[in-house]
Amino acid sequence: DATMYEVNVRQYTEEGTFKAFEQHLPRLKEMGIKILWFMPIYPISEKKRNGTLGSYYAIADYTGVNPEFGTKEDFRALVEKCHEMGFKVMLDWVANHTGWDNKWITEHPDWYTQDAKGNIVIPPTTNWSDVADLNYKNEDMRKAMIDAMATWVKDFDIDGFRCDYASGVPLDFWNKAREQLEAIKPLFMLAEDDKSMAFLTYSFNSNYGWSLYHSLNNIAKGTAKASSLLSYFNVNKSKYPTGTYPLHFIDNHDENSWNGTVEERLGQAQYPSLALVFTAPGMPLIYSGQEADLNKRLQFFEKDQIDWSNLKNEAFIKSLIALKKDHPALWNGQAGGDITFLETSDEQVLAFERIKDGDKLLVLLNFSKDEKTVTVKFANKVEGTTFDTQASVSYAQGDQSVTLKPWGYQIVVEK
């Protein structure tokens, strides 16, 4: 029943430290967040650095801590506090490349991909000039990488990894890493990938629901219909290995900084989109500041603090997290119920049910700027209450008329 939350330590507070972030834990606990994914916390390379502070993903030392954030002791204390409060802690892991002043460059140049002249190169097909591509044909490098990951599990008791650009690294490495890390403790592994389902057969529990993210942006722009989402969810039923599922989101660090704020991309479509993310199969993700109506693209290489003065969206997000927790039909993976779509008379209106062991919810979503009165074909009679206002709702079996406000939604908890 977990919801994941991505923590951008640099931009979270004025101080940009672990200790300052810790002050927000009670608020996040009250929201109902279960998993905290910390963007890379490691020292950032200075050589070929982008901007003043550099990219979190240009790592100088896999087993160190960025001094801007604090010390190892500070992070260990933060993890302990998170665990005391019932959170799980995941670290962002960048296995595809390092920064240019990582000690591996000078001590083990053969651990890196080189051109015909012996020059270490950036990751192929990218413009990532601030990082050097690692050579996964080198077994010593592979061992050192797994040892570094194990350090965080053994010494800091972290609960999982979000693996950056997972597809840039061979699957057999991830399988070996998972096997060795699981010998220490059970972990949750998230792949930043949506192409290879083989990654989910053993190495990873979840991957990125990028297709849904892009489709929601297109629907908001008017270049796609909401009905196009049916194929995505129906294909996923057989596409995902048993027990695995996608991570769904309308924002994260990359999308906010490089592709636009939620308001820029979705506008009022963010509300039915977020309702869908929390009620459709998959784990929801909330990005730092999303609950505060983050209205700017956070600079990626500079200090650019989140404005917490208006927690405009926090109550809505909190209510969706509680809805998910309270209803097994909405739980993740095998724990939740299947999604069954109902026929509607308008391509911009989605209707579906989810059922699990007697727990049943009806979801109606209007992905249009216009009020919609549509016909929905109900397979069975529906009686219940709306999750937010507790208003009574009743629909007879068969074709029934439903009216939804512009960008409106109705989530009915059935009796």
What sign results for the dihedral spanned by CA atoms 170, 199, 54, 71? negative
Please report which confidence band the pLDDT of residue 150 belongs to, taking 50, 70 and 90 as the band edges: very high
> What pLDDT, on the 0 to 100 scale, is given for residue 335?
97
What sign results for the dihedral spanned by CA atoms 117, 121, 126, 130? negative
Backbone angles phi, psi at 199, to 5 degrees: -65, -25
The model's pLDDT over 235-269, given as tens digits with 9 standing for 90+, comes to: 999 999 999 999 999 999 999 999 999 999 999 99
Residue type, 284: P
The model's pLDDT over 31-84, given as tens digits with 9 standing for 90+, comes to: 999 999 999 999 999 999 999 999 999 999 999 999 999 999 999 999 999 999
Could you give the CA distance from residue 324 to residue 305 in angstroms, rounded to a whole number?
A: 30
> What pLDDT, on the 0 to 100 scale, is given for residue 410?
98
Q: By the 8 A CB rule, do 168 and 123 touch?
A: yes
Please report which confidence band the pLDDT of residue 159 belongs to, taking 50, 70 and 90 as the band edges: very high
> What pLDDT, on the 0 to 100 scale, is given for residue 51?
98
CB atoms < 10 A from the CB of 7, how many?
A: 23
Q: By the 8 A CB rule, do 221 and 259 touch?
A: no
> What pLDDT, on the 0 to 100 scale, is given for residue 69?
98
> What pLDDT, on the 0 to 100 scale, is given for residue 143?
98
> What pLDDT, on the 0 to 100 scale, is given for residue 79?
98
CB atoms < 10 A from the CB of 64, how many?
A: 12
> What pLDDT, on the 0 to 100 scale, is given for residue 195?
93
pTM of the model: 0.98
How much is the average pLDDT of 335-346?
97
> What pLDDT, on the 0 to 100 scale, is given for residue 307?
97
> What pLDDT, on the 0 to 100 scale, is given for residue 25?
98
How much is the average pLDDT of 82-102?
98
Could you give the CA distance from residue 78 to residue 179 in angstroms, rounded to a whole number?
A: 27
The model's pLDDT over 191-244, given as tens digits with 9 standing for 90+, comes to: 999 999 999 999 999 999 999 999 999 999 999 999 999 999 999 999 999 999
